């Protein structure tokens, strides 16, 4: 499946690799059989936000004023959309720095997490969360083996 992938960087300090992001999502789409057949076909949007922007979304749509790493909105297949993945670059940068992780890998994990939500994975219950974490690892391993992790820079 080849889908349209729209990317919006609304974070002033984040520099993104649009081609790398698209290539990573296309590789995940090509591996969809390993992930509940992946998200439905259609346009996918990925938006990079600040913590304050994602907190507003969290409050407006989920009635929770706290910040979060990823918010995923399911699309409307009848209108040709698979969904939207909103990720907090601030949260990724803070978490990566605090835990000694690679920033690009952390931010890619957030994209993977959103993609998996659109594929039907859930992480609200312990059993489902373990299944989501295993799928995240498989997806990151797939991207790493294909040398398809996008590069992100923090300025």
* pLDDT of 78: 85
**Is residue 138 in a domain?**
yes
Domain of 61? 5-149
Plot region of 80 (φ>0 → left; ψ -120 to 50 → alpha; else → beta): left
**Is residue 43 in a domain?**
yes
**Is residue 67 in a domain?**
yes
Count of CB atoms within 10 A of residue 98's CB? 8
If we measure between CA atoms, which residue out of 153, 150, 140 comes closest to residue 20?
A: 150
Which ranges of the chain would DSSP assign to H, the alpha helix? Answer: 18-30, 51-62, 89-99, 103-119, 126-145
**Is residue 101 in a domain?**
yes
Show the tokens assigned to 45.
């949007």
Q: How do the pLDDT tens digits run along the chain, 155 residues long? A: 689 999 999 999 999 999 999 999 999 999 999 999 999 999 999 999 999 999 999 888 888 888 889 999 999 988 899 999 999 999 999 999 999 999 999 999 999 999 999 999 999 999 999 999 999 999 999 999 999 999 999 99
**What is the Cα–Cα distance from 83 to 102, expressed in whole angstroms?**
27
Show the tokens assigned to 90.
């601030």
Run of H or E residues at 129? helix 126-145
* pLDDT of 1: 64
* 0.85 surpassed by pTM: yes
* pLDDT of 85: 98
Instruction: Supply the CATH number for residue 35's domain.
Output: 3.40.390.30
Assign 9 to helix, strand or coil. strand
**Is residue 155 in a domain?**
no
**Is residue 154 in a domain?**
no
- Tally of structural domains, the chain: 1
């Amino acid at each position: 499946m080849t889908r349209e992938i729209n990317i919006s960087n609304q974070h002033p300090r984040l520099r993104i690799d649009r081609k790398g992001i698209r290539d990573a999502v296309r590789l995940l789409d090509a591996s969809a059989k390993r992930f509940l057949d992946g998200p439905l076909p259609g346009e996918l949007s990925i938006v990079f936000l600040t913590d304050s922007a994602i907190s507003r979304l969290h409050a407006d749509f989920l009635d929770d004023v706290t910040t979060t790493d990823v918010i995923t909105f399911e699309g409307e297949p009848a209108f040709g959309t698979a969904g939207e993945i909103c990720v907090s670059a601030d949260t990724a940068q803070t978490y990566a720095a605090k835990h000694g992780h690679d920033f690009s890998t952390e931010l890619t994990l957030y994209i993977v997490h959103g993609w998996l939500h659109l594929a039907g994975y859930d992480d609200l219950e312990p059993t489902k969360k373990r299944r989501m974490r295993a799928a995240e690892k498989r997806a990151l391993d797939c991207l790493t083996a294909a040398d398809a992790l996008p590069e992100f820079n923090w300025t």
